[in-house]
Structure 1
Amino acid sequence: MRADVAFVNGAIWTGDPGRPWARSLCVTYGRVAALDDDRECAAAHETVDLGGRTVVPGFNDAHHHLALRGRRLATLDVGHAAAPTRDRLLGLVAHKARELAPDEWVRGGGFDQNRIGGFPTREELDAAGGGRPVLLSHVSEHIAVASTAALRAAGIADLRRPPDIPGGRIVLGADGAATGLLLENAKKWFDATLKPHRIDELVGFLDTASRTALAEGITSITDPGVGGLDGIGMGRADLHGYLTARERGSLGVRVTAMPYITTTHALAGLEPGVDGWGLDLGLRTGFGDEFLRLGAVKVLSDGSLIGRTSALHEPYCAHAPGEEPGRGMLAFDPERLAETLGLLHRSGWQLAVHAIGDRAVDLAVGHVEEAQRRHPRHDARHRIEHCGIASPEAVQRIARAGIVPVPQGRFLWELGDGFLDALGEQRSRSVYRMKSFLDAGVVLPGSSDTPVVDAHPMKGIHAMVNRRTAQGRLIGPQERLTVEQAVRAYTHGSAYAAGEEGIKGRIVPGLLADLAVLDADPFAVDPRDLADIAVVATVVGGRVVHGADALA
């Protein structure tokens, strides 16, 4: 059988330790059929000349909020690049407000209070928005600030008596009135008043985000938290939106979708005499195909490190003398969460627990250990999303339990100065460990948590290798990776985290022909220049879906 397409004249890093490099590859039915087979390449129906460029397996972002990224791209950008000061942020809000009707919402996101001198206040948003409802999401997506009109639209009639929200807080000021600052579950509660999104709107978000990801060489993502009004999804029909996007040709990347924990419920009669927990019809992790499938159940157990809401054993560093800095917060009662996670584990689900603070990480590891002790499962491959602060003991427990930690390298560059300020230099040595996990025998994935930070994998790889902040400060230098370790994390490691290492993550015969074509060799450039490497073209299933003109 003739190959469908041959990619020739390349420097192809396969990710296979037994055969790390190739010059050409042939693709049949969307999969790699052969490497360096000149006869088969010559007979292929189509030939693509790589022009000597470096090719790696398509990047796989193990923690990428696809729909949320699309929504962020469609709303007002108040991130540091667009709004480096508080005055600039408020100016952008005012400019956007002037384009809107008096009752229309100003929605935006991406600000970091650590970089603009504090959180914007309700009164500042009232003035900038001209009395309109204004809602700005923090870069972490765990916090938001709202104007008076926005708070009233959410049903808060008395600003001095806002609702009490477990696992979150509507912050009150010295005058006893709401400041507009919404923490953790209070932010999610507020978001729910603006959901669900229309399906056409959701499809638009997915289309925009998919095209952006493909331009970055990303061919697969895991979307961590879909299907909830009270979580981080777009609405209860999120999968309908994903399917619709796929049918319309608007879903360009392969997706593993994690349902949020609040979408699951008790299932009576999972089998005779056994009740389960999950989704109707017994759907669970693994259902779907190579383009869209169900992944782990996602749960947020704590908050954000730069927002100082992640749960710590010891208090955060004080912002100012005399401040009571606190230890963060847990989103769920630990006993209740342990019970639900145990039921999901017994019902065959992979678990994905968001845990950033060391207290939350220790609790998450304990929950997984207890679930496995009660109901042993082979290679359950549960995950801890972020795994932000892990003690040496936690690293070893994670390795023994077969847990996959999912850290974000790019956090170190974009948010690392905030980590150092929140924790101090000594504790920051334990932040977003990477090499320690590899040394313990853990398979490490690569991820971004976009739209929290830039999703470009080469920027993530740059941070994993260099471990410097935007201000040039080193953060946990003993956790640096080699370039090969970092690229392997963003390819094979992320496939492993999703249980898909048998179909993707390397360029070997039989696996999906997903490729990223680069304009420089990451294994040869100065490591300080890794973030400058551009993606020339992206291939999904043997088809050039981005940058076809560059390969013509």
Structure 2
Amino acid sequence: MKKLWYNGLFYTMESEGEKVESIITEDDRIVKTGTYNSLLSYLDGEQFEKIDCNGKTGFPGFIDSHLHLIGHGEAKNRVDLTKCSTYSEMLERMKKAVSESGSNEWIIGEGWNENEWDSIPTFSIDDLNRLSNTNPIVLKRTCRHVYFVNSLALNKASINDDMQIEGGQIGFSEDGQLNGLLYDEAVNLVLKAMPAPDDLYLSKAIISAIKDCYQHGIVGAVTEDLSYYGNANLVIDLYEQLLNEVPFHTHVLIHHTTLDEVKDRLHSGNRNVSFGGVKAFIDGSFGGRTALLEKPYEDDNRITGLQVTSPEKLEVITKKARENNLPIAFHMIGDLAVRQGIDAVKKYPNKDKLPDRFIHCALLSPKLIEEMKKLNIVVDVQTSFLYADYPWLVDRIGNSRNHYAFLMKSLLNESIALANGSDTPIDTVNPWQGIYTAVTRKAKNGEVYNIQEAISLYEAIKLYTVDSAASFGQDDKRGLIKEGYFADFILFDEDPFELDPDSLLSVKCSETICRGNIVYRKSEERY
């Protein structure tokens, strides 16, 4: 049966300011848009359901262009360390978790960020060992490129002080002893040592993550999950099955280590799943000083970051992606990492319809931009990072380089395709933090950084809707309120275009409609 959604104000996002009063949907598609009276005439003689939108403002459903969906679900079911203001508070939270856990159970905390603590800590593995010598303990930094673990976790992962790990580092205290800190590829040894999750565990994480996405108006995402759970095909199976029950679209990136495992089942996409670029990490993060820079860090001139994947291996990965008619998806934070990504795709050009994904590109330069605009790429930005990464990022890279951090307007002016995402669980999944920072360039401390890179509210919302859909080749069916498109749209009690920009951070989704059905309603707080 058709549904008539009326008494609303729907921004179609086809062009700036374009609005319609009402929408007709049938099954999972939008059939027609227009005025209430014109749609009533269109439906004359038919049976249909009328749904009053009560004067709310509508947009196409949001699509997060880069996250880790299962990781988001996991984080919601683990010890939350994001609100800790001191090292001691983090340890206290873990002490409570240990007391509530069984012997030999892995205990995992998520989201610590020493840059937001009241004082600079000295990490000591002994502090975690005192909490438990029968439970492996793993505390993941907010960027997930740095772990803090106890001795039992190191033993389970067969990590010792003599090891050299390609693309990773092991932390030491001043006396030369292991301090429990692991960086980049070293954390993967811990992940591999953990018990492989079963389908019930993964299903719970997926459903939990999607239901949380609904609260924020998110109906689809580009996700990277295949390499973390021991069985890439199981993850794909669950997406194919579960997303019929909890409607959502996942565009799945393929970590290069899983390509051989899954390549025989890649398809052009259905309403639940599509497949995208071959993923590799070139560098790490600014927080852990492992983002790869052309010149040394401003606050530690001994280091320029960490080479997670060598340039030679990047070329091998890119060549293999091209042989399988796939784009690449490279994590690149620092300017040197971006340079290496450009070199790899220039050697093996992308002739596919789907663009290569340059993920993050948090630090650029005019020269890099000049080269990027010649490539078939989309830059996968995370403007929400700006909110939490300042003011300490200026200490890391200095004032002169900071002028080229988190660029937005400069890239749009050069007609370089962009899409915006959260990278959750690294940062909040709430799109309005990313929209707010894109428009105001304000960080958590209220200061404005690089205001010349601010973009309009229309441009910012577009990056979470049709531009995000375009990043994986589905802007002909997602990201707009338009006839023939998926019936994915969201409602708000207020019109964001009429708000003061500083109020954007507090905007809340009122209702989320996915495939023509209401999947979230704030007034009921149920799904």
Gaps of 5+ in 1: 266-277
Shift of residue 526 of structure 1?
0.3
Shift of residue 336 of structure 1?
2.2
**Which residue of 256, 259, 263 corresponds with 2:254?**
259
Compared with structure 1, are the counterparts of its residues 534 and 18 closer, same or farther at alpha carbon in structure 2 (3 Å cutoff)?
closer
**Which residue of 26, 31, 34 corresponds with 2:32?**
34
Compared with structure 1, are the counterparts of its residues 221 and 44 closer, same or farther at alpha carbon in structure 2 (3 Å cutoff)?
farther
Please state if 1:433 is matched with 2:407: yes
Match of 1:395 in 2: 369
Compared with structure 1, are the counterparts of its residues 71 and 405 closer, same or farther at alpha carbon in structure 2 (3 Å cutoff)?
same
Q: Which amino acid aligns with 2:325?
A: G
**Which residue of 62, 65, 85 corresponds with 1:62?**
65
Cα distance in 1 for partners of 2:369, 2:229 equals 30
Cα distance in 2 for partners of 1:494, 1:104 equals 39
Show structure 1 runs of 4+ deviating over 6 A.
Answer: none
Shift of residue 233 of structure 1?
5.1
Please state if 1:506 is matched with 2:507: no
Cα distance in 2 for partners of 1:259, 1:48 equals 40
**The 10-residue stretch of structure 1 (402-411 or 31-40) with the greater mean CA deviation from structure 2:** 31-40
User: What is the total number of aligned residue pairs between the two structures?
Assistant: 518
Q: Percent identity?
A: 25
SS of the equivalent of 2:303 reads coil
Match of 1:418 in 2: 392
Cα distance in 1 for partners of 2:319, 2:99 equals 51
Cα distance in 1 for partners of 2:238, 2:391 equals 37
Q: What's the CA shift string for 1:432-477, capped at 9, x where partnerless? A: 2111111111232110000111111112101111112111232222
Q: Which amino acid aligns with 1:84?
A: S
Match of 1:241 in 2: 238
Shift of residue 107 of structure 1?
0.7
Q: What's the CA shift string for 1:88-130, capped at 9, x where partnerless? A: 1111011111112343222111011212224642112222346
Cα distance in 1 for partners of 2:98, 2:525 equals 43
Cα distance in 1 for partners of 2:520, 2:157 equals 42
Cα distance in 2 for partners of 1:217, 1:355 equals 28
Match of 2:108 in 1: 107
SS of the equivalent of 2:325 reads coil
Match of 2:9 in 1: 11
Please state if 1:71 is matched with 2:74: yes
Q: Which amino acid aligns with 1:292?
A: V
Q: Which amino acid aligns with 1:352?
A: A
Shift of residue 428 of structure 1?
1.7
Compared with structure 1, are the counterparts of its residues 102 and 29 closer, same or farther at alpha carbon in structure 2 (3 Å cutoff)?
closer
Query: Any conservation in 1 of the 2:280–2:309 contact (CA below 8 Å)?
Result: no
Query: Any conservation in 2 of the 1:214–1:253 contact (CA below 8 Å)?
Result: no
**The 10-residue stretch of structure 1 (55-64 or 347-356) with the greater mean CA deviation from structure 2:** 347-356
Please state if 1:292 is matched with 2:273: yes
Compared with structure 1, are the counterparts of its residues 125 and 40 closer, same or farther at alpha carbon in structure 2 (3 Å cutoff)?
farther
TM-score (structure 1 length as normaliser): 0.89
Please state if 1:366 is matched with 2:343: yes
1:111-150 matches, cutoff 5 A:
111-116=112-117, 117-118=120-121, 120-129=123-132, 132-150=135-153
Match of 1:181 in 2: 181
Cα distance in 1 for partners of 2:363, 2:470 equals 22
Cα distance in 2 for partners of 1:317, 1:25 equals 54
Shift of residue 367 of structure 1?
1.2
Gaps of 5+ in 2: none
**The 10-residue stretch of structure 1 (412-421 or 528-537) with the greater mean CA deviation from structure 2:** 412-421
Cα distance in 1 for partners of 2:7, 2:485 equals 21
Compared with structure 1, are the counterparts of its residues 389 and 186 closer, same or farther at alpha carbon in structure 2 (3 Å cutoff)?
same
Query: Any conservation in 1 of the 2:16–2:458 contact (CA below 8 Å)?
Result: no
Cα distance in 1 for partners of 2:380, 2:195 equals 28
Query: Any conservation in 2 of the 1:168–1:184 contact (CA below 8 Å)?
Result: yes
Query: Any conservation in 2 of the 1:207–1:252 contact (CA below 8 Å)?
Result: no
Cα distance in 1 for partners of 2:503, 2:522 equals 25
Cα distance in 2 for partners of 1:245, 1:336 equals 35
Shift of residue 378 of structure 1?
5.3
**The 10-residue stretch of structure 1 (433-442 or 55-64) with the greater mean CA deviation from structure 2:** 433-442
Cα distance in 1 for partners of 2:385, 2:194 equals 28
SS of the equivalent of 1:304 reads coil
